[in-house]
Amino acid sequence: MNSEIISVGTELLLGQIDNINTRIISQKLSEIGINVFFHTSVGDNRERISSVFKIALERSDLIIFTGGLGPTLDDLTKETVAEVLRLELNYDEDTLNRIRAFFKKMQREMPENNKKQALVPEGAITIPNENGTAPGIILQTGEKIIILLPGPPNEMEPMLNKFVIPFLRKRLSNEVIKSRVLRFIGIGESSLEQKILDILKKQTNPTVAPLAKQGEVTLRITAKAKSEKDANELIEPIIQTIKERVGEYIYSYDNDPMEAVVGRMLIERRCTISIAESCTGGYLSHLLTNIPGISAVFDRGIISYSNKSKTEILNVPAEILKQKGAVSQETAISMASWIRKLSGTDLGVAITGIAGPDGGTPLKPVGLVFIALSTDSGDLCEKYLFNGNREAIKRRSALAALDLIRRYLKIR
């Protein structure tokens, strides 16, 4: 099944919001073996929506719209689709009642124009919206499937996961499609490719697809088979070969993000931790506190940005700051050691660096970061030189700190 995604909204074309819906939908479709061949963004204009829809009908089996399902006059997706397919729009009482209930729950009176959202093309399947008022819509015309989803990601994604993906799975062949995602850190995409180039060149079933992310690389291994057991048997030898060659860089075999892997290790080992951050501004603490149950082991995180705070809160000797500077191995170790003593945790972690774009020198360029780990058996510090903009350097630094913790816990 070949598909395309049409994103409706002038705000997308003006760059006022990010089009994250396309990424989310594309990922989910690829996981069940549906090819995504085209992405189109179009403004809130009936003629242009009609034009891109007609082109999509000629070349794709599945067309998914997002956006343009709101209550205002410029929300035209549903009306345009119905017009092109020559379908009447009729009020759906169940949908109208859900919209009324939504406003009642919010203790607000329903505006008259919200009734428009209960108009549904004849023969359509409606998808209830648990987080908003616009229902999703599924239409089938001949061999074509057309799906309309709301634009806000917090409304679209639950509908996609709960209704759309199960609906599409039932219409696929009897083949099972299974994917495993390996996540790597400490190796670049090009270096990884060189080490598994023969696998990439020979791939048929399973397929192996690398993807570079900020600070890490992933490999998606996907197999088609008659059963999940058969698919796993196709995938496993590929994973073992990759593990033999680059296993030292793999931190997850099931697409778990680094913070989930490290958080789980900390919780399972009952290893308490405290964090002192400078250039990352709390980003490491943010990642860890996204993990459920982390409160059992995460004691505190301190953002110590200025030299004054490093001295007053983290007891970094003024002499170190004067002689070595805030961005130095000595400062990082002092920060990590004191936060561990202050909180009484098993581990103390510290990050200090230059995130840029200003502040670098020939001796200490932008991207220079020191990450220290303090333990009851001693302290260690690693030096990094990251590239990218300010946000990228902050994320790479936080991931490197998590990886340092992970490597320590593996041998602890």
Which tens digits make up the pLDDT trace of 247-261? Answer: 999 999 999 999 999
pTM of the predicted model as reported, rounded to 2 decimal places = 0.78
Cα angle 380-386-389, degrees, rounded to a multiple of 5: 135
Residue 409 CA neighbour count, 13 Å, CB half: 23
**What local confidence, expressed as pLDDT, does residue 110 receive?**
93
The whole-angstrom separation of Cα 241 and Cα 191 is 16
pLDDT at residue number 358:
94
* Measured distance CA(407)–CA(251) in Å, rounded: 9
Q: Which part of the chain is CATH 3.90.950.20? A: 258-411
pLDDT for res 183: 98
Distance CA 120, CA 90 (A): 5
* Residue 227 pLDDT exceeds 90: no
pLDDT in the model for residue 18: 92
| pLDDT recorded at residue 370 | 98
The CATH architecture of the domain made up of 176-252 is: 2-Layer Sandwich (3.30)
| pLDDT score at 177 | 81
* The 62-66 sheet, strands edge to edge: 35-42, 2-8, 62-66, 144-149, 136-141, 125-127
- φ/ψ region of 293 (left if φ > 0, alpha if ψ in -120 to 50, else beta) reads left
**In the prediction, which pLDDT does 12 show?**
96
Asked whether the beta carbons of 71 and 111 are under 8 A apart, the reply is yes
Q: What is the pLDDT confidence band of residue 178, given thresholds at 50, 70 and 90? A: confident
Find residue 210's DSSP bridge partners.
219
* pLDDT at residue 300, rounded to an integer: 98
CA distance 343 to 401: 19
Mean pLDDT of all residues in 130-142: 95
What φ, ψ does residue 43 adopt, rounded to 5°? -75, 180
Residues of the chain with CATH 3.30.70.2860: 176-252
Residue count of the chain: 412
Residue that is written with structure tokens 């990922």 in the block: 27
Neighbour tally for 299: CB within 10 Å: 18
Among 332, 367, 368, 364, which Cα is nearest to 350's?
Answer: 332
Mean per-residue pLDDT over the chain, rounded: 95
How many Å apart are CA 136 and CA 130, to the nearest integer? 11
- What's the pLDDT at 172? 82
Q: What is the pLDDT of residue 35?
A: 87
CA 12 to chain centre: 20
pLDDT at 275 over 90: yes
Amino acid 96: pLDDT: 95
Strand ranges inside 173-284, DSSP E: 176-184, 207-213, 216-225, 250-252, 273-277
Intervals of CATH 3.40.980.10 along the chain: 2-171
Question: What is the number of other CB atoms lying within 10 angstroms of the CB of residue 14?
Answer: 9
Alpha-carbon separation of residue 12 from 50, 55, 78, 266 (angstroms): 18, 20, 18, 41
Alpha-carbon Rg for the chain in angstroms: 26
Q: With contact defined as beta carbons under 8 Å apart, do 46 and 188 qualify?
A: no
Give every CB contact of residue 325 below 8 A, 6+ residues apart in sequence.
Answer: 331, 364
| pLDDT at site 108 | 92
**How much is the pLDDT for 127?**
97
Domain 2-171 adopts which CATH fold?
Answer: Molybdenum Cofactor Biosythetic Enzyme; Chain A (3.40.980)
Closest by CA position to 246, among listed 300, 196, 293: 196
Q: Which CATH superfamily is domain 258-411 in?
A: CinA-like (3.90.950.20)
